[in-house]
Amino acid sequence: MVFSSPAFLFLFLPAALALWWWAVGQGRVRAAQWLLIATSIAFYALWNAWHLPILAGFILGNYAAGQALARRPSKPLLAGAIAGNLALLCTFKYLGFFTAAVNDLTGTTWAVFSLALPLGISFVTFQAIAYLVDSYRGVAPRSSLRRFALFLVFFPQLVAGPIVHHGDFAPQTRWLPAWDWPRAARGLFLLWLGLAKKVLIADPLGALIDPLWASASQLNLVEAWLALWGYALQLYFDFSAYGEMAIGLGLLFGFRLPVNFNSPYKATTIADFWRRWHITLSTWLRDYLYVPLGGSRQGFLRGLAAAAATMLLGGLWHGAAWTFLAWGALHAAYIATYRLWVALRPRPLPTGLAQALTLLAVVLAWLPFRAPSFEVAGQLLATLSGVSATAFTGFTSPAVMAIPLLLALWIAVLRAPNALELADRFDPHRPGHRFLTHAATAASVLCIGATGQFLYWSF
């Protein structure tokens, strides 16, 4: 069930909120939290009930391992528990990819299986691994099975993040939240703003540029650049919309979820971009992969190697395809270039030029990220470079008529406040603010029937 669907917004969410706040009003912490867990499991079951036993085993196994590690830290147990999580993730997400790779390399003919991904498996796996490592280090808060289950299955962040740390969420489950009108108003504002971005911008952008990607071999130079810059916008609005809706939903239930987006296209360096884009994933990769690999503490070259390994695995985390690995490799090269630049200590670039170069690098890297194959990526790259046979032919798509609209959206992305900044300024008592919120909500509801799945649900 998609957050931007009528069934969720007008049936599931009102019922879930009513049940939760009724239970909170009874003052019984355990009963209320078990009810919210049941609600989250129902949300999960509406996607694929056959995966419920996997989810139950995942919760019980990680909780038991975390408790054992907290009582007696053990490297073999930690390694085994992490390996179990990664084995489950690899079975569902990478089995077909690895089997096909072995077949290609060795000439074998092993059957290539494609299993349906359990909802949000990449996100909850990373959350569980962080919990295990923190338990081993002795920094994970003590938690009951009930509170641990709520941490993993709380439905606003279950599907596509943000990646929540047990240490941030568990303290919020020690007591029941009190109803707070300003918090609820902020939550509603973020929910409806995210809905508007998804329904009014991201989905129409997808309908506009998806045909361009489907006919990559026929595009001219302008259409190819339109496909690339249009996708960069679509992904930005789609992913940020989900993050804002997740935070808004969390606030409606009285929980704080971490910020996952902070105007990433305004970044002035590639390091700055990764501090702004998918913030919780970047933080996880830094704390649980980059630093354990040595980070920047063991010399310049070791730091480059650790960064390269981190970005390659971060790319593969997004999907079981060589194109995602290529995307990670590009960002590894960007980071290496940036570090070499910093090490040489040249004169800093002007802010505008630094932002433009960073944005161009990021957008170019979306090419293998979005392309279904290297063949398509190569076709588009040739056209983008002006060396393909179709680069200077006539227009084949009416999408070029939307270029002024895309320019306006890019100006807004690069110059306007982001959603959280707008939420800080939102005052439900001001008529103008209420009018704009109601107008965006009404327009979103009118278009809601055509909404599509969030892009990051696939990861």
* Active site (catalytic) residues: 318
Cβ proximity of 248 and 194 under 8 Å: yes
Tell me the H-state helices in 219-321. 221-252, 270-276, 279-285, 300-318
Instruction: State how far the Cα of 58 lies from the Cα of 51, in Å rounded to an integer.
Output: 11
Find the radius of gyration of the CA atoms of the chain: 23
Q: Tell me the longest C-alpha to C-alpha distance in the chain.
A: 70
Could you tell me if 392 and 306 are in contact, meaning their C-beta atoms sit under 8 angstroms apart? no
Judge contact between 280 and 163, C-beta under 8 A. Answer: yes
- CA dihedral sign of residues 61, 64, 65, 66: positive
224 in helix, strand or coil? helix
Are the beta carbons of 270 and 361 closer than 8 angstroms?
Answer: yes
Retrieve residue 459's tokens. Answer: 């990861």
Please check whether residue 332 is in contact with residue 271, taking contact to mean a CB–CB distance below 8 angstroms. Answer: no
3-state DSSP assignment of residue 50: helix
Exposed, middle or buried, 411 (CB in 10 Å: 0-12/13-18/19+)? exposed
**Phi-psi region for residue 73, left (φ > 0), alpha (ψ -120 to 50) or beta?**
beta
Q: Would you say 419 and 437 are in contact if contact means Cβ atoms under 8 Å apart?
A: no
The pair phi, psi for residue 277, each rounded to 5°, is -100, 130
The answer to whether the beta carbons of residues 234 and 205 sit under 8 Å apart is: yes
The answer to whether residues 361 and 191 touch, using CB atoms and an 8 Å cutoff, is: no
Report yes or no: 250 and 157 within 8 Å, Cβ to Cβ. yes
Residue 199: closest CA among 167, 244, 164: 244
In contact, 149 and 173? CB cutoff 8 Å: no
Residue 339 CB partners (closer than 8 Å, separation 6+)? 300, 303, 304, 307
CA 282, CA 263: separation in Å to the nearest integer?
15
10 Å CB burial of residue 301 (0-12, 13-18, 19+) is: exposed
